[in-house]
């Protein structure tokens, strides 16, 4: 039996863009929508989109005529996966924690509907044993929170490091469902955002981070 290769996030994003091209019946010479439009259509971050587009260009599917991405270059020598994840968690807690606080103050009905959709899809994919799709839905749920924060600089910083973290976050230690039990806290956080209650949203977010930290430390 062959080993099943886990797809990188860039490959999953590329698949979504291919599906969009097919759905819109785009032909050779046609242009894709703007970066900001694609981000909104696909519900992904800027760096995720950039990597997906670069992969498609390498495959000969598209041609990038002009690309000036904003990014922070990150490089890690992963000698200790547990230590890396704990350090990544500290960074994520600081950045995403602020995004959650702002989202609870600024989220529109459209933002909340997007969050609800991705969280519902995540649960459905888990129930259907569609792990890769579940990982995408989880990522999109968090990305929708960053969008709702309405802080372009904060989102750009999160986007610039998200892909690096995501590759290690999906299946740390080779365990697919390692963080699935944090789902109830996601529901709690979403409800607080809907209620425009930054305090409760931050409390629920911290529960997620505490759960993740404890889980990592126990491995």
Q: Please, which pLDDT band fits residue 85 given cuts at 50, 70 and 90?
A: confident
The conformation of residue 188, written as its DSSP 8-state character, comes to H
**pLDDT value of residue 94:** 95
CA distances from 157 to 79, 83, 91, 133, 141 (A): 25, 22, 11, 25, 17
DSSP 47-113: HHHHHHHHHHHHTTS---S-------------S-HHHHHHHHHHHHHHHHHHHHHHHHHH--HHHHH
How large a percentage of the chain has pLDDT more than 90?
38
Q: Please, which pLDDT band fits residue 199 given cuts at 50, 70 and 90?
A: very high
Spatial distance between the Cα atoms of 189 and 186, rounded to a whole number of angstroms:
5
Model confidence at 148: pLDDT above 90:
yes
Domains (range + CATH), the chain:
9-58 (1.10.10.10), 81-218 (1.20.120.530)
**pLDDT value of residue 123:** 93
Q: Please, which pLDDT band fits residue 73 given cuts at 50, 70 and 90?
A: very low
Going 65 to 147 to 91 to 14, the CA torsion angle's sign is negative
Q: Please, which pLDDT band fits residue 145 given cuts at 50, 70 and 90?
A: very high
Going by C-alpha positions, the residue among 136, 158, 146, 11 that lies closest to residue 70 is: 158
Q: Please, which pLDDT band fits residue 97 given cuts at 50, 70 and 90?
A: very high
pLDDT, greater one: 102 or 179: 102
What's the mean pLDDT in 152-172?
76
Give the range among 35-39, 74-78, 98-102, 155-159 with minimum mean pLDDT. 74-78
What's the mean pLDDT in 100-124?
96
Model confidence at 66: pLDDT above 80:
no
User: How confident is the prediction for the chain on average, in pLDDT?
Assistant: 83
The conformation of residue 8, written as its DSSP 8-state character, comes to P
Tokens of 219: 């491995």
Burial of 192 (0-12, 13-18, 19+ CB in 10 A): buried
Burial 116-153 (b: 16+ CB within 10 A, else e): eebbebbeebbeeeebbbbbbbbbbbbbbbbbbbbbee
What's the mean pLDDT in 124-145?
89
Model confidence at 2: pLDDT above 50:
no
Count how many residues are written for the chain. Answer: 219
């Amino acid at each position: 039996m062959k080993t099943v290769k886990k797809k990188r996030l860039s490959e999953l994003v590329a698949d979504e863009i291919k599906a969009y091209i097919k759905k819109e019946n785009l032909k050779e010479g046609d242009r894709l929508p703007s970066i900001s439009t694609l981000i909104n259509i696909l519900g992904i971050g800027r760096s995720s989109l950039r990597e997906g587009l670069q992969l498609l260009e390498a495959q000969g599917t598209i041609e990038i005529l002009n690309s000036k991405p904003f990014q922070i270059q990150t490089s890690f020598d992963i000698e200790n996966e547990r230590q890396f994840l704990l350090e990544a968690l500290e960074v994520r807690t600081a950045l995403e924690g602020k995004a959650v606080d702002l989202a609870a103050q600024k989220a529109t009905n459209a933002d909340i509907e997007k969050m609800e959709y991705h969280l519902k899809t995540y649960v459905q994919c888990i129930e259907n044993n569609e792990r890769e799709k579940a990982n995408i839905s989880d990522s999109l749920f968090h990305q929708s929170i960053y969008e709702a924060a309405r802080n372009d600089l904060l989102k750009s910083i999160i986007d610039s490091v998200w892909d690096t973290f995501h590759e290690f976050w999906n299946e740390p230690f080779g365990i697919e469902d390692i963080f699935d039990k944090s789902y109830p806290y996601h529901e709690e956080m979403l409800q607080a955002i809907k209620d425009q209650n930054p305090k409760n949203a931050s409390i629920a977010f911290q529960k997620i981070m505490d759960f993740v930290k404890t889980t990592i430390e126990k491995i």
